[in-house]
Structures are given as structure tokens and as C-alpha cells.
Amino acid sequence: MIRAQHRLATFFGATVLCALVQLLGWPARAASAPAIPDTLQQRIAACTSCHGVHGEGTPGSGYFPRLAGKPAAYLVRQMQNFQNGLRKYAPMEYTLRQLSPAYMQEIAGYFAAQQVPFTRSPLPPVSAATLLRGEQLVSKGDAARHIPACASCHGSQLTGVQPSTPGLVGLPYDYISAQLGSWRTHTRAALAPDCMAVVANRLGASDITAVAAALASRQPPVDTKAQAAGSVTPPLPCGVLGASGDGA
């Protein structure tokens, strides 16, 4: 009986001691620091802090573009362009400078596979006439100035075309206007012949505002997946598309 009591007391004491140790946080490190998950998402914190954990972009900031659902080959090519200097943006060049083709492929695959709802970002005040002009450029282009419609390459719903043409819906106004501007100032380029450089240089300064506002204010369609490869015939020769097109 006494021995049983003693055993019980020993057991009880040990339990209390264990609980105390846990409460006092010893070993503190194990208690206070959750393990680091061995996932790609954890590894690419440098990407997701601006572009969002699922590549949703940061609509509030109005600048960092959405990556979710963009064709993987397009994303890989953009990373390569930051490495080789075709695209100039110091923070991206610094972050990507030493990544391998295999790792970039894996990262692009991660963002291409993400499906997250679109959020519209803030729009500067633009007139109805500007929006109308923008809408016209997006869906019809401007034949007099040889400007093709955005939709003629980026897909009828502007959700992009596999494998190398990005979607334009859901991108912030600031981002779109900055990119069109950067094609004119040679801080963004694509493989020659660079069709986007041709288009951006045919646009007037007010057209950039108009088209960026029209795109950023568009309601994304229900199906936001990029169109199938080969489903559009580009009106200009484009290096990234194997230079097909009628050369207009």
C-alpha cells in the first residue's frame, strides 16, 4: 500500500515536473519556434512578399503584378529577361540574378498553377471619354495608326494565350502604364522582333493612360484560364511567338 502510494507520488511528481518544464519553456527553442516547412512556398518568400503567397499581386499597392495563372513559359521568360538585362527593374534583377533555369521553371510552375480570385486595384480618376478610347484600343485597336487590339494577341477575354502571352485582366493601372512606358524607354524588351515595343511606340501618351485604365477597370471573366496555344493569329511578327504574323 505504502509502496503503491509512493509510486503514485513519484508518477504525479514527474508529471508535474514535466508540465512545469513545458510551462517554463525549457527547451525554449523547441517550444517557441515552429519548424520551417520544406515547401517551395516557404523557399520563395522573396517573391511572395510582393507578389502574394499565391501570386495574387498586391492590388492595394497598385504596382506588383499578379502572377497567378499566367502561362509558366511566359513567367520563365520574364525571369530570364531580368537576368539578361532585357527587362530592367533593379529589385527583380538583384533577386533573380543567380537562379538556375530549373529553379525558375519550378517557381514559374508554382505561380502558373495558382487559382485565386481577382481583386481590382485602385484607378486614377479618368474621364468617360478616356475609358471609351481605352476600351476601343483593347477590343478593336486603331487601324489608322496600325495599332492592333490587345485582344488580338492576349486572348478574346484578355486572359492570355498559352504558352508565352500573359493575361492582362486584373493587372493594376500603375503596372500596365509603367510597362507600356518602359517599352518606349528601353527598360523592357522581349525577344526580337519585339512586337510589344512596336505597339507601345505606336500608342500616343494619352493612349497609355486610356488603355491602362480600361484594362484595370475590366471585370475579369468567370473563366480566367489562358486560351489554348495556337488559338490566336498575331497581327505582328513576335519573337516570343516564333516570329509568326503577317508583319503589318
Q: Calculate the CA 190 to chain-centre distance.
A: 17
Residue 40 binding another protein, by CB under 8 A: yes
Residue 95 binding another protein, by CB under 8 A: yes
Cell of 229: 496555344
Beta bridge partners of 142: 147
Q: Show the CA angle centred on residue 152, arms to residues 69 and 125, nearest 5°.
A: 75
Least Å from the CB of residue 103 to another protein = 6
| CB of 221 or CB of 239, closer to another protein | 239
Residue 185 binding another protein, by CB under 8 A: no
- What is the Cα–Cα distance from 213 to 207, expressed in whole angstroms? 10
| CB of 28 or CB of 144, closer to another protein | 28
- What is the Cα–Cα distance from 111 to 51, expressed in whole angstroms? 10
Residue 83 binding another protein, by CB under 8 A: yes
| CB of 9 or CB of 46, closer to another protein | 46
Residue 24 binding another protein, by CB under 8 A: no
Beta bridge partners of 60: none
Footprint of another protein on 121-150 (CB under 8 A): none
Task: Give the range of 79-87, 118-126, 127-135, 136-144 binding another protein by CB under 8 A.
Answer: 79-87
Residue 32 binding another protein, by CB under 8 A: yes
Task: Give the range of 28-36, 176-184, 190-198, 208-216 binding another protein by CB under 8 A.
Answer: 28-36
Residue 91 binding another protein, by CB under 8 A: yes
Residue 47 binding another protein, by CB under 8 A: yes
Residue 199 binding another protein, by CB under 8 A: no
Among 33, 128, 129, 222, binds another protein (CB under 8 A): 33
Among 43, 120, 202, 225, binds another protein (CB under 8 A): 43
- What is the Cα–Cα distance from 160 to 169, expressed in whole angstroms? 9
Looking at the chain, list the stretches that DSSP marks H as alpha helix, in order from N- to C-terminal side: 2-24, 28-32, 40-43, 45-51, 72-84, 90-96, 101-112, 128-139, 151-154, 173-184, 195-202, 205-217
| CB of 50 or CB of 116, closer to another protein | 50
| CB of 48 or CB of 165, closer to another protein | 48
Residue 232 binding another protein, by CB under 8 A: no
- What is the Cα–Cα distance from 246 to 237, expressed in whole angstroms? 7
Whether 177 contacts 208, CB under 8 Å: yes
Helices (H) and strands (E) in the chain, counts: 12, 0
AA identity, residue 8 = L
